[in-house]
Amino acid sequence: MKILFLSAPGAAVARIAHAISLHDHAGKAEFVSCGTAETGSDRSALSATAEVGIELSPATSTPLTDLSQLDIDIVIALSANAAQACPVLPGRPQIIRWNLAEVSDDLPDPAAAYNSLRDTIRRLLDDFFNRGYLEALAESRHCSSLILDNISDGIIAHDANRRIFYFNAAAERITGYSRDRVMSRDCHEVFPGKFCSGRCVFCDLPVPPFSARREEMSIATMTGERKQVEMIRSPITGPDGEQAGALVSFRDVTAERTMARRLGEIEHFSGIIGR
Please compute the mean of the pLDDT values over residues 207-211 and round it to a whole number.
Answer: 76
Q: How many CA atoms lie within 13 A of 152 on its CB side?
A: 5
Does 21 share its domain with 129? yes
Is residue 78 a contact partner of residue 49, using CB atoms and an 8 Å limit?
no
Q: What is the CATH number of the domain that holds 160?
A: 3.30.450.20
What is the reported pLDDT for 243?
A: 82
When comparing pLDDT for 59 and 140, which is higher?
59
What is the reported pLDDT for 249?
A: 94
Does 100 share its domain with 10? yes
Q: Is residue 102 part of a domain?
A: yes
Does 8 share its domain with 128? yes
Does 170 share its domain with 89? no
Does 199 share its domain with 95? no
Is residue 201 over pLDDT 80?
no
Does 156 share its domain with 137? no
Is residue 27 over pLDDT 80?
yes
What is the reported pLDDT for 236?
A: 86
Residues 6+ apart with CB under 8 A from 251: 152, 153, 154, 174, 229, 230
Q: Is residue 267 part of a domain?
A: no
What is the reported pLDDT for 167?
A: 93
Q: Is residue 270 part of a domain?
A: no
Does 161 share its domain with 136? no
Is residue 46 over pLDDT 60?
yes
Does 209 share its domain with 80? no
Please compute the mean of the pLDDT values over residues 247-275 and round it to a whole number.
Answer: 73
**Domain around 190:** 151-259
What is the reported pLDDT for 56?
A: 94
Does 134 share its domain with 12? yes
Does 46 share its domain with 155? no
Give per-residue pLDDT as tens, 113-154. 999 999 999 999 999 999 999 998 888 888 888 888 888 899
Does 175 share its domain with 76? no
Is residue 2 over pLDDT 70?
yes
Q: What is the CATH number of the domain that holds 86?
A: 3.40.50.2300
Handedness of CA 115, 96, 38, 240 (dihedral sign): negative
Does 185 share its domain with 99? no
Is residue 74 over pLDDT 90?
yes
Is residue 235 over pLDDT 80?
yes
- The SS3 assignment for 229 reads strand
Number of domains comprising the chain: 2
Q: Is residue 63 part of a domain?
A: yes
